[in-house]
Amino acid sequence: MNTNHMFQEWINNTARLGLLGGLSLLLCGVAGSLAQTNQTTQPQPKEIKHKVPPLPDGVKLHKDQNIQGVWLADGFDFKGYQTLYLMPIVFAATERDNEVDIRAMAMQVLPEQLAEQFRDTKLFTTVTTKSDEVKAGAKTLKLDSTIIEYSKGGGAARYFAGAMGGGQPVIKVRGQIYDGDKLVCVYEIKRSGSTAEARFSRGTVSSEDIQREDIRILARDLAYFFKRTANVQ
């Protein structure tokens, strides 16, 4: 009788565990199905993809310290110019309808930071974003800047993978510099979560704050490239 009782108890426990396991699998399946349904029904941002123009004929970019790609005309070094005119920024990257406000911020802050950082180099008497401030007869460089890659990033992704670049905002700019109609320099420079704070804040720093700092660093590094190329201390 004791043996039979133990055997019966074992059968009951096994059946109970089987039911619990099956119930667990069922709940996991339902949860996964709900998550997938939620993911598919959640509205995704609409995108407008622009075609980035190709590099000018004959231009081959090479890395130069912290500038990802640059080309200079033979013998060109940024010296001897009085004015740097920053032409209106062009946006040629993908436009997403959930990035309207932060994209507008980037379009405003980029020329402001470029002007501020270039003025600090003392290479030019005048650095301006206004064409009517370019004096007639002044030896002038024109900088035509195009944003060719852009994303505002996301705090959730930065929380889990920010240190590896996950969820970081992205801005990549191509610049073409002209002396009159002559192309003298082309560069591409990209910044994405450039600071330790952006990488290790676990999503507590906003995408806008990170991108503002990325733009400042982008402009600073570009201005330093101008100054270094001109061999000015």
With residue 51 as reference, give the H or E element that holds it. Answer: none
CATH classification at residue 140? 3.40.50
Vertex 23 angle, CA 21 and 29, to 5°? 105
Residue 28 pLDDT level (bands cut at 50, 70, 90): very low
Over the range 143-159, which residues count as b (16 or more CB within 10 Å of their CB) and which as e? bbbbbbbbbbbbbeebe
142 and 208 together in one domain: yes
Percent of the residues in the chain that have a pLDDT greater than 70, as a whole number: 82
What is the tally of structural domains in the chain? Answer: 2
How far is C-alpha 204 from the geometric centre of its chain's CA atoms? 18
pLDDT category of residue 5 using cuts at 50, 70 and 90: low
Is pLDDT at 8 greater than 70 in this prediction? no
| pLDDT, tens digit, 9 for 90 and up, residues 54-71 | 999 999 999 999 999 999
| 72 and 30 share one domain | no
141 and 36 in a common domain: no
Burial of 84 (0-12, 13-18, 19+ CB in 10 A): buried
**Is residue 3 domain-shared with residue 85, that is, in the same domain?**
no
Contact 157, 193 (CB under 8 A): no
For position 44, what pLDDT does the model report?
79
Domain limits for position 4 = 1-42
pLDDT bracket for residue 116 (50, 70, 90): very high
> Do both 121 and 219 map to the same domain?
yes
**Within this chain, do residues 127 and 170 fall inside the same structural domain, yes or no?**
yes
pLDDT at 202: 82
Q: Do 86 and 192 share a domain, yes or no?
A: yes
Q: What pLDDT digit, counting tens, does each position of 29-44 carry?
A: 443 443 354 445 557 7
My answer on whether 114 and 6 are in the same domain is no
How confident is residue 201, by pLDDT bands cut at 50, 70 and 90? confident
Residue 150: name the closest of 84, 222, 61, 89 by CA: 89
C-alpha to C-alpha distance for 183 and 37, rounded to whole angstroms = 53
